[in-house]
Structure 1
Amino acid sequence: MTSVLLVDDQALVRMGFRMVLEAEDDLEVVGEAGDGAVAVRQVAALDPDVVVMDVRMPGVDGIEATARVVAEHPRSRVLVLTTFDVDDHAFAALRAGASGFLLKSAEPAQLVDAVRTVAAGSSVVAPRLVRRMLDLFADRLPTAGGGDGDGDGGGARDDGAVPPALRGLTPRELEVMRCVARGLSNAEIAELLVLSTTTVKTHVGSLLAKLGLRDRVQVVIAAYENGVVTRDA
């Protein structure tokens, strides 16, 4: 049974989420909160597996609440929900340590799948959010012909072009990181790089361990911040 805490300042929204999640045999809503401060206290008291977190709330918003939950209760994973996929606040919540991002307009089945995915230790990154990340970092990313990246979406760089923070990675791990940053699934990466899915999972796990990252969301952010992807990729 996966325990879930619902955090949203609108009671009707929480009620709708509760009805969707509790219709599943393996999901249980153990509590609700209407703002971030209460959410942090509820996480401490209830130790939920997943926190479904709204971003825009009065008082302590979802960004600060996410940062507190991740820092103080790392076992509980945060799934961020927002009305707009271009919401910079939602992106900030991901940087604060959230494990996933989902629009409130998503279908009920998508919410259920996202909760299960996050609870299992994976992450949920909508492809449109990956594009939003590219837009946000556009002025800091190299072009395809620049010295910091090759822009082909798959080739390896020579070590002198790799940012210092990433020089512990192998060329193959850099390729996988670039693919993850493009929003590709393990199966899609395996097909593109002609690898088995198991091998891709191993490379992703190695990326997380070497860079000290929690999940794929943080891999995506690290890739954009370090110029692993390019504006033209």
Structure 2
Amino acid sequence: MIRVLVVDDEALIRTGFTHILQAADDIDVVAAVPGGQAVRAVRELCPDVVLLDIRMPDVDGLTILAELRRMPKAPVTAMLTTFDTDEYVTRALRSGAAGFLLKDTDPEQLPYLVRSLAGEGTVLSSKVTRRVVGGYLDNSVRDLTAGRLTARLTERERHVLVLMAEGLANNEIGERLHLSTGTIKGHVTSVLAKLQVSSRVQAALIAERAGLLTRPRDENPR
């Protein structure tokens, strides 16, 4: 079972997400709480995935994210957002958010997205890419272009990067490439190191900026 904690200041959002996710056989929403109760709930309930509102009146979602990232066994945390401000999204990327979910996400897609997060996949919608990729990379990559960074990758690593950017978890990438999950983990580690980033979301943004997500690719790279 994937243990999920929903954190949002709106009771309607908490109830809606809980209802949708609880209908999945492999997902258990252990709690749905406002921001002020988030850190305590994580410590007590040890969720695998936290869906965290990026902006709340009682406590800043980015502050909560920073606290969760400092925990010895930090849960995978994706931000809930309506993308009404790019500044918050960019700061969340730099703080280690594993992905972003729109609050109006298609209910049929929500369980799949949570499974992807639990499996070390990414959740990065096209809206995130269009609105923040430029500003994020301009500030973090500095004098190295995304193209120069991705040029460091082997053909296999570029293929793995594209599949990471598409949101696939390690086991799904392994199935696609007919490789073991352990081998894929090794490739992912190498990709992050060569791109000089710490998260799969950041790697996905570089892949988008480099144009890798729009190019046809060989399905059987060596």
TM-score by length of 2: 0.72
| 1:208 equivalent in structure 2 | 192
Aligned to 1:102: 101
Runs of at least 5 residues in structure 1 that lack an aligned partner in the other structure: 157-168, 187-194
Q: How has the CA–CA distance of structure 1 residues 73 and 127 changed in structure 2, closer, same or farther, with 3 Å as cutoff?
A: farther
User: Quick one: distance in 1 between partners of 2:72 and 2:148?
Assistant: 40
SS at match of 2:29: strand
Q: Secondary structure at 1:30's aligned position in 2?
A: strand
Q: Which residue of 2 aligns with 1:27?
A: 27
**In 2, are the aligned partners of 1:86 and 1:132 still within 8 Å (CA)?**
no
What pairs up with 1:180-219 in 2 under 5 angstroms? 183-184=165-166, 196=177, 198=179, 201=184, 202-208=186-192, 215-219=199-203
**RMSD value over aligned CA atoms?**
3.8
Assess, with a 3 A threshold, how the Cα gap between structure 1 residues 101 and 185 changes in structure 2: closer, same or farther: closer
Residue 60 of structure 1 pairs with residue 44 of structure 2: no
User: Which residue number corresponds to residue 14 of structure 2?
Assistant: 14
Mapped pair 1:133 → 2:132: yes
Q: Percent identity?
A: 36
Out of 109-118 and 128-137, give the one that drifted further: 128-137
**Aligned twin of 1:49:** 48
1:71-110 equivalent positions in 2, closer than 5 A:
71-84=70-83, 87-110=86-109
Residues of 2 paired with 1:8 and 1:141: CA distance? 29
SS, match of residue 9 in structure 2:
coil
Q: 1:72 Cα shift?
A: 1.4
In 2, Cα distance between the equivalents of 1:197 and 1:86?
Answer: 41
Instruction: After TM superposition, list the pairs within 5 Å mapping 1:146-157 onto structure 2.
Output: 148-149=144-145, 156=151
Separation in structure 1 between the aligned mates of residue 192 and residue 48 of structure 2, nearest angstrom: 21
| CA 1:207–1:117: 2 relative to 1, 3 Å | same
Residue 51 of structure 2 aligns to a residue whose secondary structure is strand
Paired residue for 1:123?
122
Distance 2:140 2:202 in 1: 17
Partner Cα separation in structure 1 for residue 121 and residue 61 of structure 2: 20
Amino acid at match of 1:106: T
Aligned equivalent of 1:189: none
Worse overlay, 74-83 or 17-26: 74-83
Q: Is the 8 A contact 1:80 1:98 kept in 2?
A: yes
Quick one: which amino acid aligns to residue 109 of structure 1?
E
- Measure, in 1, the Cα distance between the counterparts of 2:130 and 2:70: 28
Superposition pairs of residues 160-171 of structure 1, within 5 angstroms: 170=153
Render the CA deviation track for 1:89-128: whole Å, top value 9, x for unaligned.
1332232111111111111122211111111122211122
Output the CA distance in 2 between the equivalents of 1:130 and 1:42.
31
**1:32-52 deviations in whole A, cap 9, x for unaligned?**
2211x4201110111011111
Residues 177, 219 of structure 1: 8 Å contact kept: no
In the alignment, is the contact (CA less than 8 A) between 1:180 and 1:219 conserved in 2?
no
